[in-house]
Copies of this chain bind each other. A is one copy, B any other.
């Protein structure tokens, strides 16, 4: 069977509709013509199911591949992913986000596509808003959104993108009858009184014991407790009592991510979670659904990183974060603040 390369499509006749579309769902039949994308044509050429001509000349695989990559940006990447999906037994059709993929056992004309696949090179950073617009395109037609990242070696890693409605089980009831005194020293806040330390630590898992009497609070914990009127914080240098604006301003000068981390922290607490630093995992927070015993901590469910709306994912960094989270059986979520609140974006590796 012969297909003709015209611009960024390969066209073949009626026989192709029978042999390629009706049996393998390659291309789209248009009247008596089967129209194939460049990746479909390259794959069929590789499978020896199609010959391709350009200006009456037959093209070898290398010639067609080179020609196609001049005509379509990221052709090689898309080919690599298309081939992989096909070889995994999926039927694939082109889509607004590169590919529509049919569920196993399903095919075009019978079933709905199950997922949208969006192909990226590991080398090209990805804007959060691009990721979300691809996600929304998939979401609007109720498809799963899958990101296929092709590395330097043409290995593909698949990620599923989801927005998550998360909910914890922690019921923190701190009474604020008597305000607890604390002091800010450099970049941490200390509670000196033994009873106070116990109250904060055992009711909500705030802070970390400095020793058996005193408690050390992180900046976000301190701001949270200060805003709730549970603690009052003295500046260790001047001895003056600080209000929330002063404290937040100082915290933001110590930790450039403070403001973003704080909004996420407040949101997580309001949703019934306990959030603690995720430093050891390289993220802002590790998050517990519930902490009942302070002697033995439970497993934390999530690693959460608070990112701005204009965030740009460096894909090797994202890959590392997700891989690390999975290796310790946690989900990696990115928290983004919008006018309506915080959204949690789950990026998880999947096996296709």
Contact = CB atoms under 8 A, between A and B. Distances in A.
Contacts of A323: 280-282, 324
Interface stretch (A11-19, A93-101, A153-161): A153-161
Interface string A269-303: 00000001101111100000000000000000000
A227 B349 CA distance: 37
Interface string A144-155: 000001011111
Q: Is the interface of A mostly helix, strand, loop or mixed?
A: mixed
A255 interface: yes
B187 A65 contact: no
Size class of the A contact interface (CB-based, 8 Å)? 35 or more
A214 interface: yes
A340 interface: no
Contacts of A264: none
A83 B152 contact: no
Given A154-B188, A317-B282, A319-B282, A237 B70 contact: yes
A21 interface: no
Interface stretch (A50-58, A74-82, A106-114, A131-139): A74-82
A327 interface: yes
B324 A69 contact: no
Contact of A185 (B66, B121, B213): B66
Interface in A224-283: 236-237, 254-255, 276-277, 279-283
Given A281-B320, A324-B320, A123 B153 contact: no
A186 B153 contact: no
A277 B157 CA distance: 13
A210 B316 contact: no
A318 to B, nearest CB: 8
A307 to B, nearest CB: 14
A211 interface: yes
A285 to B, nearest CB: 10
B324 A186 contact: no
A25 interface: no
A74 B319 CA distance: 34
The 10 A-B pairs at the shortest CB distance, nearest first, are namely A282-B320, A151-B279, A62-B192, A152-B277, A327-B327, A69-B185, A324-B324, A152-B218, A153-B277, A282-B316
